[in-house]
Amino acid sequence: MTQTIARPDRLTSRPRIVRPRSSTQPVGRAASIPFLAPAVIFVGVLLVYPFLASVWSSLFDDNGFTQRFVGLDNFGKLVADPILARSLLNTLMWVVGTLVLPVVLGLAIAVASNSLSRRWGAFVRGAIVLPYAISGSATAALWHFLLESHGAVNQVLNTVGLGGLTTSWLLNWPQNTLSMIVASTWQATGFSVILFLVGLQSIPRDTVEAASIDGAGGWRMFASIIFPQLRPVTVVVVGMALVNSLKSFDIIWVLTQGGPARTSETLALTMYRETFLLFHVGYGSAVAVLLTVIVIAAAWLYLRTQLPRVR
Amino acid sequence: MTTRRSVLGAGLALSGTALATAGCGVGSVTPPGTVSIYTDNPGWNASLQAGGAVLRRRTGVGLTPQELPSTTSFQQVIKASLRTRKTPDLIKWWSGYRLEDLARTGGATDLTDIWSAAEKNGWVRPTLRPAFTSGGRIYGLPMNLAFWVVFYNPKMFAKHGVGVPKTWAELEAAAALFASRKITPFFGTTAGRWPAFIWFQEIVSKLDPDFYERLMSGRARYTDPTAVRAMRLWKSLLDRKWFTPLDTSDSDAASLLKQEKLAMLPFGTFINTNFAKNGMKPGVDVQAFVLPTVDPQTPRSVIFEASALMLPRKAPRREAALRLMRQWLAPEAQTAFTYGLQDGSPDPLVKPPNPLVAGLLEQTRNVRLLNRFWESSPPALVESAVDDLGSFLLDPSSYPTVLQNLQDKADAEWAVWRNDS
């Protein structure tokens, strides 16, 4: 055990400077305003103002040319719309699907590839991460080729004698929504892998070595030592996945446009359809307000329960 | 360390709540001495350039095509721009109610004088006039004249000893024979949403063309007996599995026709470009016939589609655009444009660009022209209707509910439409 030697001479020689408190605080507070202003303006202009504009727009019957004030009629119509239930259910499926699949797969792939040799690990990570660089629309175009009734998936199934498993993947609910979640997972998993790898590589080596000395290995090592230390990264990954899933749009738009017959429509699709296809601008804004409220509430609840309180 | 990481995490998560909106600008550089025309179809650029070259010689004004990324964003951008000073000079739009939708906002230019002069010269079919009229005035000039007909592979028909169906009974007999030989009789799809209406418009118009027009203009109901009969007839075809999978695209269908896996493909003649891409020569590898009426004594009709050349009231180069439009329907300009499209022309003086179109002009002589479903009712109604028709295609037994839903929407949208007039 190392002995710590006190140095009383240094402590006594350090002068204690007393500052006049009454003149410090006002100056400090006022001085911070110029530094905060750009951030506040940025958020106000790009986030708060558009949201308030949407709320205002949702109070009107607006066809893109003329407006008529109708109060909360648009929200009343929204609640009465039978498609809203399907839209919400599909959105919920997307939330659950994109929380479970990309996050869990991302974690598994990150842990597995992290333990591989340098060369093989890099190859595996590249194969998984590369799709993340592809846009949602490009992903959808590729998966359309795979999933349509005459597409590659059905052709392969027929070729290997599993013709009984072929189906019209994009035509019937819930297969169409589930198929698109799989396509989205293929594209989005790379993001989780990257973040988890960063987390894994920031775990102090000595904690792993200590556990190893104590005989922990494999699953026990992961469950008790590694995963708890990934908590900060996990919070971010799940949070991002939660928010992004609520806004899923481009993959759905290219693959099914929310169809056929609106069976695979999500809230984002409903908003787009009402505003830009039917030019029910007020109603579309009401959907946008609902979507925004859901997103903010979900993000806030999640962060509130996940982030440790700072004392 | 913990505090800093937590704050960073919170920031990243909260920033994800931003709902970004991507805007499309209409601004672009138009060469001097030309006017810009905005379209939603890049396949038209070559034809517009060919027509533009002729128009430059005749008027001193050239034509510069500009395309916007997709049909939906195209509509959004055009509608928004009409309220500003940043409109295009010319717009390729739809005819019928979609043109009227823009015209009655005051955003379009009255072109009645130009149309009257063209009609006097014999440069435009008078029967097309109603499709470009709003409130008794003309607000668009026709750009093309596509017919909605049934395409088939004449070699395959000959191989199987099948002649062109002249009656509905012959049509069903041909379909049954092809089905028995593992060839899909008909193309049907919901890919892209809008095609769900194709068979509906065809069957209704071949049952009763008068009823079709009344239904489209809100003077008949989707729950009327003729509409019910149309759905039952459509259902009987679907129940026999005579259609392609619902996610087959029209370009795939053209390939299937060539591969002799599909017998009959109902579509507009603008699909000719897809046939060309498959190396199919019109008149040789692909031919077309007008769908026969369901009852022999019913008057014959054919669905047409014509895009509208529209001039925004606030067009930046308005006078130059007007000079160009006065010559738009001149036979020389229309010939250059039409031959690029390989489609029909609204100018009866223009020779057909290929044997297929020539044959159709012959078949449709003295046949009643009906505007396409997409253009024949208020836009919000047809946009909703294609989803309802899509749900019928998923479950044909749902037709009573589908028709009731269609009528409910029709009641709502016609009320809005008439109130806005």
CA–CA gap between residue B153 and residue B257 (Å, rounded): 6
Give the amino acid at A263.
T
ipTM of the complex: 0.78
CA–CA gap between residue A99 and residue A241 (Å, rounded): 6
Instruction: Retrieve residue B269's tokens.
Output: 């003649």
CA–CA gap between residue A177 and residue A258 (Å, rounded): 9
Q: What is the dihedral of CA A190, A196, A198, A199, to 10 degrees?
A: 170
Give the amino acid at B312.
P
pLDDT of residue A67: 78
CA–CA gap between residue A107 and residue B51 (Å, rounded): 59
Buried b (16+ CB within 10 A) or exposed e, A114-137: beeeeeebeebbeebbebbeeebe
pLDDT, tens digit (0-9, with 9 covering 90-100), for B1-24? 333 333 333 333 333 333 333 333
Measured between CB atoms, which of A150, A276, A302 is closest to B72? Answer: A276
The CA radius of gyration of chain B, in Å to the nearest whole number, is 23
Instruction: Retrieve residue A224's tokens.
Output: 């008790």
CA contacts within 13 A on the Cβ side of A253: 20
pLDDT, tens digit (0-9, with 9 covering 90-100), for A41-69? 888 888 888 888 889 889 988 776 777 88
Tell whether B383 lies on the interface with A, counting CB pairs under 8 A: yes
pLDDT of residue B4: 36
pLDDT of residue A47: 84
Residues of chain A in contact with residue B248, where contact means CB-CB under 8 angstroms, are: 148-150
pLDDT of residue B15: 35
Query: Are the C-beta atoms of residues A271 and A295 closer than 8 Å to each other?
Result: no
Instruction: Retrieve residue A218's tokens.
Output: 């494999």
Helix, strand, coil percentages in chain B from 3-state DSSP, rounded to 5 = 50, 15, 35
Return the bridge partners of A166, or none. Answer: none
Would you call A149 and B9 a contact, using CB atoms and an 8 Å cutoff?
A: no
> Helices in B147-208 by DSSP H: which ranges?
154-159, 168-180, 198-207
pLDDT of residue B7: 37
Would you call A247 and B19 a contact, using CB atoms and an 8 Å cutoff?
A: yes
CA–CA gap between residue A101 and residue A190 (Å, rounded): 12
Q: What is the mean pLDDT of residues A130-149?
A: 89
CA–CA gap between residue B87 and residue B90 (Å, rounded): 8
pLDDT of residue B16: 35
CA–CA gap between residue A284 and residue A272 (Å, rounded): 7
Measured between CB atoms, which of A46, A261, A310 is closest to B394? Answer: A261
Confidence of residue A19 (pLDDT cuts 50, 70, 90): low
Tell whether A303 lies on the interface with B, counting CB pairs under 8 A: yes
CA–CA gap between residue B280 and residue B344 (Å, rounded): 18
Measured between CB atoms, which of A66, A171, A277 is closest to B247? Answer: A171
CA-wise closest residue to A57 among A293, A292, A282: A282
CA angle centred on B80, ends B79 and B83, rounded to 5°: 95
pLDDT of residue B87: 86
CA-wise closest residue to B63 among B81, B50, B73, B72: B50
CA–CA gap between residue B41 and residue B32 (Å, rounded): 24
CA–CA gap between residue B287 and residue B353 (Å, rounded): 14
Tell whether B1 lies on the interface with A, counting CB pairs under 8 A: no
Which segment, A27-36, A293-302, B11-20, B156-165, is predicted with the most confidence on average? Answer: B156-165
pLDDT of residue A6: 45
CA–CA gap between residue B201 and residue B96 (Å, rounded): 15
Would you call B13 and A244 a contact, using CB atoms and an 8 Å cutoff?
A: no
Average per-residue pLDDT in chain A? 84
Residues of chain A in contact with residue B255, where contact means CB-CB under 8 angstroms, are: none
CA–CA gap between residue A113 and residue A117 (Å, rounded): 8
Residues of chain A in contact with residue B5, where contact means CB-CB under 8 angstroms, are: 232
Confidence of residue A17 (pLDDT cuts 50, 70, 90): low
CA angle centred on A71, ends A70 and A74, rounded to 5°: 75
Low-confidence ranges of chain B (pLDDT < 50): 1-27
